[in-house]
Structure 1
């Protein structure tokens, strides 16, 4: 029945895949579970991600971008993150809803520019738009922060054991334990290898940050693990060498993450977001390109 619905309404399928692509999964069920997990944390966030992903996908369709790329959800994930981020940072006024629509359309267009140039930038369109939006909104408006951003982390026993799972939740601005579990399951049903490498990356990121003296509260809620989750997923695979590249990517990503946070480099524009993931992954891809001859790639 569901297959028939997706065939009859491909736009729905594209939207869900766009959400799944937040963690690099071209899977409608992954996207659906992400949506459920976000609604569990905040109805505003749920509506925001639905609206933003729809706008990003619709923009790509109207601008006649490659149909296979649209079907894969490649024009939805950065737009989706724009929607969730704005609804997370600010109370959802009319201006914020308008910016979600505008930002989602712009994210789709920027994504297309880099895709057409065959330059891997992952979530950079989202980062760029949010940095500018947060800076302008903080300096030129009086819109108060959302309830989510000022909420205290959940008081859950055995938090240390849940730290790696919380890293999955924080990828999409969710601090709740159950959202993290749902997100992990969402990736696992699409790619067990990616999910397990992501878990390992989150754990390693948390451990390195602990050794670096970062905030224990921040580590436990996943703030020092979510970028590592994404970097690990990118390089995950069944070959023995994949584990090495995951390790290299996570080490670089966490190093960038801790450095930026320790020096408050991006506080004024909303924080590091997924920039350490983008920078760490691109540097690892560059190292990979230098170390591995084309014939073996």
Structure 2
């Protein structure tokens, strides 16, 4: 299998780009993510492949830094654009075109932030989807996808399933199997990231429950997926890592709950991963303010 990646590095870059959705530079993580998405929706699987390929190809043609391309840094926002568009809308010809163009644009926006050394995380994906959802809802008649229009299945609340669902919802997957696959995919790359992500999802669900959010939404993982990402960013094996994970999760969940409670951004497709981006950036700023730089 490694020979394939050596002969065709583009495949390796695409898979790493998918893995970087949850900050894992690992081709096997990306492959498992892809499998989990195909299990949920074959259209979502095709969309994420097209968008990630478009973003990676754009970065190569524009001659961005090769090490950054090889690390998958120009694939993850593009990947989320693809899966999000296939999740929100029925995949008409226009949507497929936007999936490819959106993936390419995400790569260009990502490069701007990387070149400026600004930690944007998934912000390029967020901006593109907000614009696409608003424009498509107001200026086209493209109907919502089957996943959006389908009635949610009635399932019993389960404290074990809830944090796993948080992993699935990071990539718009509501099925338990996809969530389990995503957790395993992260674990094989970084056990610390997987376990802290699980703790983050659980904390996100718990704090949202205390805040009075809907049990159905909490169970589905809608109040946990941003916390998963924030926890993964600060995960590690040092004692202080756990403290920063807690700080990041608390800030992220607070932002998430406020935005959802006040229906902010509903017209644009929802909060997406914006609470994660903002909460993580605030935590990084707090770190810079309270942790002195080491003297040379």
TM class by shorter chain equals: over 0.9
2:147 maps to which residue?
A: 148
Using the TM superposition, name which of 144-153 and 232-241 deviates more. 144-153
Aligned residues between the structures: 296
Is 1:279 the counterpart of 2:278? The answer is yes
CA distance in 1 between partners of 2:2 and 2:148 (Å): 38
Structure 1 ranges of 4+ moved more than 2 A: 150-160
Give the aligned partner of residue 290 of structure 1: 289
Structure 1: distance between partners of 2:116 and 2:40: 37
Whole-angstrom distance in 2 between the partners of 1:215 and 1:40: 27
Does residue 215 of the first structure (1) align with residue 211 of the second (2)?
no
Q: Does 1:230 align with 2:252?
A: no
Could you say what secondary structure the match of 1:272 adopts? Answer: coil
Listed one character per residue, the Cα deviations across residues 181-209 of structure 1 (whole Å, up to 9, x for unaligned) are: 00000000000000000000000000000
Q: Which residue of 1 aligns with 2:124?
A: 125
Runs of 5+ in structure 1 lacking a partner?
A: none
User: Which whole-Å CA distance do the structure 2 matches of 1:149 and 1:167 have between them?
Assistant: 18
In structure 2, C-alpha distance between the alignment counterparts of 1:101 and 1:11, rounded to whole Å: 16
In 2, Cα distance between equivalents of 1:217 and 1:30: 29
- Tell me the residue number matched to 2:68: 69
Distance 2:154 2:50 in 1: 32
Aligned residues of 1:153 and 1:176 also touching (Cα < 8 A): no
Q: CA deviation at 1:156?
A: 4.6
Give TM-score scaled by structure 2 length: 0.98
Structure 1 Cα separation of the partners of residues 189 and 159 of structure 2: 26
Structure 2 alignment gaps of length 5 or more: none
C-alpha separation in 1, matches of 2:185 and 2:155: 22
SS at match of 2:13: helix
- Residue 94 of structure 2 corresponds to 95
How big is the alpha-carbon RMSD for the aligned residues of Structure 1 and Structure 2? 1.1
Deviations along 1:89-116, one digit per CA (max 9) or x if unpaired, are 0000000001111111110000000000
